[in-house]
Chains A and B, each alone.
Chain A
């Protein structure tokens, strides 16, 4: 069965610090997709990135970067120079043929608090 683990329940940093959110996944699929979503206090899940299992290139988007390592089944997310507006719950998620359709398996989420 598919599983996503986010071991860090809560992280608190001071503004401008770099922070890395960990994500480890399990799946029997050879083709699968990994996602990160941000959930601010308003509740809506905001899509951040999608990565397929064949593309292990790291990606950078502004202050955000993602490190996908298939060998360790990890898909970590780093925020550089964090800002107060980055405070939210961040979810890592997985989809693949094992669960068919576009069904997402989510991790438990990491609550990030960025203090001024």
Chain B
């Protein structure tokens, strides 16, 4: 079974631009979660989608948004980029999205904001 895939793997943007990241979950997984990893803040939860609905949201500004499609693929969008948005963005998928589930992570998208 193929793992979680994320595209693109690397991105360079400038301040003020917007960016869209994509995540394809493991086949059969319906829950997709997004995490931001930075050296200063560590791994922080952004949001979780299940059956095309945002079910859980972390403490991030409204510039961070996401969506999930009927095939469970998910996209994450960051508008009006700031230097502090430079990070590794990790996507994880699980079967039903409850606390009993194990989340499996993709390779991440490394975003650099100049």
Contact = CB atoms under 8 A, between A and B. Distances in A.
Interface of A: 31-33, 35, 37, 42-47, 50, 52, 91, 95-97, 99-109
Given A43-B88, A106-B42, A109-B42, A101 B104 contact: no
Interface string B2-35: 0000000000000000000000000000010101
Contact of A44 (B45, B56, B98, B106): B106
B33 A103 contact: yes
A57 B5 CA distance: 34
B103 interface: yes
* B: contact size bracket: 20 to 34
B99 A32 contact: yes
Nearest to B6: A44
Contact of A42 (B50, B92, B107): B107
A63 B99 CA distance: 27
Contacts of A97: 99
Interface string B37-51: 000001101001010
Interface of B: 31, 33, 35, 42-43, 45, 48, 50, 55-56, 58, 88, 90, 92, 94, 97-108, 110
Contact of A101 (B42, B97, B105, B110): B97
A43 B107 contact: yes
Contacts of A109: 42-43
Given A45-B90, A101-B31, A102-B33, A50 B99 contact: no
B48 A45 contact: no
